[in-house]
Chain A
Amino acid sequence: MISFIIYKAIICLVVFLLSLGVAAYATLWERKFAAFLQDRVGPDKAGPWGLLQPLADGGKMFFKEEIIPNVSNRFLFILGPSLFMLTALMTGTVIPWAKDVNIGGQTYSLQITDINIGVLYLLGVVSIGVYGIMIGGWASNNKYALLGAIRASSQMISYEIAMGISIIALIITAGGTLSIREIIAQQDAGLANVVYQPLGFLIFFVCALAETNRAPFDLPECESELVGGYHTEYSSMKLGLFLFAEYINMFISSAIMAGFYFGGYNFPFAQELYDAMGLQEGSWIISLIGFGAYFTKIFIFICVFMWVRWTLPRFRYDQLMNLGWKTLLPLSLLNLAITVVVEYLRGNIHI
């Protein structure tokens, strides 16, 4: 039991450091990528190619003055960003990062935990994140912050419905399992889920953009009208936690999309490659290659997120609501109906 806890604690720490590291370097990559798209150089002063920029930014955040407005609710003001960061870090627990490793006859799974309601856990934790924004924005007692927080929460809950229904269609394709480990493992042989769920993936992708408050859905922090949105009054590391948690959310939603729809650590002809290299089941090299494949997919998704941000202009609020309620919701129900018909034709639904 003690060794179990130690091994799980190590994995927790690794996933935690991984989330932070990826989020930190995603901020740099965002700036580099934007620079590339706009034909600029981007940050290049801190270290070679600006590689130390995230550390400099983080350090700067710590040494800034912390301002809690007089009119704000002190306790809730601190609780807001804490809750947002906490939920962002908690989402990484149910994602399997690679195949199991066999060391000295013991099998170690490279996942913090495999619970049989993984998908529900994920949806639950993500929706608690809305409270972080709402509490933070309300506690500031600032008009811009309140407007931003209301916009953010109403946007996030609107898109959660279409997302939930598109995940139901995915679960049906995956044969009725809520365990993320099984959803990914099923794509081991055969095609990735995106082949069976192209529309579902599209809906999920749009909803993921809206849930992470990324452009073109960045109305909660729309600089041109709301100053900074829900984090207008925040400074020092409290602001840092809000911004940082958004990048962690982006990383985790990329990981979920890559896992749910693109096979996670699986890739075409993986088994043939492992056989050709003469690797046994449970070898650490297999896990390493799978982890590399998973990260390549996540990296591509993060790039797509950034590409979308620097290409599309922001939606108007009525367009946002029309898209969420009048387009995506009926479309996701249609996708569910199509999925059921396809499953019937594949002979998985008996009379």
Chain B
Amino acid sequence: MGSTNTPTDYLPIVLMFIVALGFVVTTMVASHMLGPKRKTKIKLDSFECGIESHGNARLPFSIKYFLVAILFVLFDVEVIFMYPWAVNYKELGIVGVIEVFSFIALLLVGFYYMLAKKAVQWED
């Protein structure tokens, strides 16, 4: 393995973070200073295609989006579990393959349940 894993390897990431943060902060401050400031009440209202804005935007939204978020957490965690196997698949051999695929089979049962419950069905 050519790659190492020492704290020094992560130092350049910190450097890049400083560069990126510097750029973002500079841009934000510069655009704040340079732009004109002619604020009126109507200009600062939230935009609703020209008509008067009505109430707060933070209203309840479709439960479907929330279901997608929950499903994402479930499936993404399962995907993350496969990464250690993918890195060591040569050492784990056929036993590892059988184990991972039985894991995927369980995942597919959950996937089938998700489809049967119409969790990602947008049109009725």
Interface residues, chain A, CB within 8 Å of chain B?
A: 4-5, 8-9, 11-13, 15-16, 20, 61-72, 78, 82, 85-86, 89-90, 92-93, 112-118, 120-121, 138, 140-147, 150, 153-154, 157-158, 160-161, 164-165, 168, 171-172, 175-179, 181-182, 185, 227, 232-233, 236-238, 240-241, 317-318, 321-322, 325-326, 329-330, 333, 336-337, 340, 343-344, 348-351
B residues 50-75 touching A (CB-CB < 8 Å): 53, 56-59, 61, 65, 68-69, 71-72, 75
Q: Which residues of A contact B88 (CB under 8 A)?
A: 176
CB distance from A174 to the nearest CB of B (A): 9
CB distance from B53 to the nearest CB of A (A): 8
Q: Mark B104-121, 1 if CB is under 8 A from A, else 0.
A: 100010010011000011
| Inter-subunit contact B12/A86 (CB<8 Å) | no
CB distance from B27 to the nearest CB of A (A): 5
CB distance from A177 to the nearest CB of B (A): 7
Of B2, B80, B82, B89, the residue contacting A343 (CB under 8 A) is B89
Closest to B2 in A: A182
Q: How many A-B residue pairs have CB under 8 A?
A: 233
Of A82, A178, A333, A350, the residue contacting B28 (CB under 8 A) is A82
| Inter-subunit contact A65/B61 (CB<8 Å) | no
| Inter-subunit contact B90/A176 (CB<8 Å) | yes
User: Given that A146-B58, A348-B90 are known contacts, is A238 also in contact with B13, CB under 8 Å in the complex?
Assistant: no
User: Given that A116-B5, A349-B93 are known contacts, is A142 also in contact with B12, CB under 8 Å in the complex?
Assistant: no
User: Given that A66-B35, A85-B24 are known contacts, is A90 also in contact with B47, CB under 8 Å in the complex?
Assistant: no
| Inter-subunit contact A69/B21 (CB<8 Å) | no
| Inter-subunit contact A146/B12 (CB<8 Å) | no
Of A67, A147, A179, the residue contacting B2 (CB under 8 A) is A179
Interface SS of chain B: helix
| Inter-subunit contact B86/A171 (CB<8 Å) | yes
A92, B75: Cα distance in complex, Å: 27
| Inter-subunit contact A321/B120 (CB<8 Å) | yes
Of B11, B16, B35, B90, the residue contacting A89 (CB under 8 A) is B16
17 A–B pairs (Cβ distance < 8 Å), ordered by A:
A5-B11, A8-B11, A65-B37, A65-B38, A93-B12, A115-B13, A143-B59, A147-B61, A153-B69, A168-B86, A177-B3, A179-B2, A182-B3, A321-B120, A336-B104, A340-B89, A350-B93
CB distance from B114 to the nearest CB of A (A): 8
Interface SS of chain A: helix
| Inter-subunit contact A13/B19 (CB<8 Å) | yes
User: Given that A112-B16, A113-B13 are known contacts, is A181 also in contact with B87, CB under 8 Å in the complex?
Assistant: no
Of B44, B75, B76, the residue contacting A67 (CB under 8 A) is B44
User: Given that A154-B65, A157-B69, A349-B94 are known contacts, is A120 also in contact with B83, CB under 8 Å in the complex?
Assistant: yes
A15, B16: Cα distance in complex, Å: 9
Closest to B54 in A: A143
User: Given that A67-B44, A150-B61, A340-B97 are known contacts, is A86 also in contact with B24, CB under 8 Å in the complex?
Assistant: yes
A69, B21: Cα distance in complex, Å: 25
A26, B100: Cα distance in complex, Å: 42
CB distance from B43 to the nearest CB of A (A): 6
User: Given that A181-B3, A337-B101 are known contacts, is A161 also in contact with B19, CB under 8 Å in the complex?
Assistant: no
CB distance from B118 to the nearest CB of A (A): 11
Q: A150-B61, A241-B27 are in contact. List 18 more A-B contacts (CB 8 A).
A: A62-B30, A63-B34, A69-B47, A71-B45, A82-B24, A90-B20, A113-B10, A116-B3, A142-B46, A142-B48, A144-B47, A146-B58, A175-B90, A177-B1, A179-B2, A182-B3, A321-B120, A349-B94
Of B12, B32, B46, B89, the residue contacting A69 (CB under 8 A) is B46
Q: Which residues of A contact B79 (CB under 8 A)?
A: 161, 164-165, 168
Q: Which residues of A contact B9 (CB under 8 A)?
A: 113-115
Q: Which residues of B contact A145 (CB under 8 A)?
A: 57
| Inter-subunit contact B15/A349 (CB<8 Å) | no
| Inter-subunit contact B24/A150 (CB<8 Å) | no
Q: Which residues of B contact A321 (CB under 8 A)?
A: 68, 120, 122
| Inter-subunit contact B83/A64 (CB<8 Å) | no
| Inter-subunit contact B16/A66 (CB<8 Å) | no
| Inter-subunit contact B89/A160 (CB<8 Å) | no
Q: Which residues of B contact A350 (CB under 8 A)?
A: 90, 93-94
CB distance from A326 to the nearest CB of B (A): 7
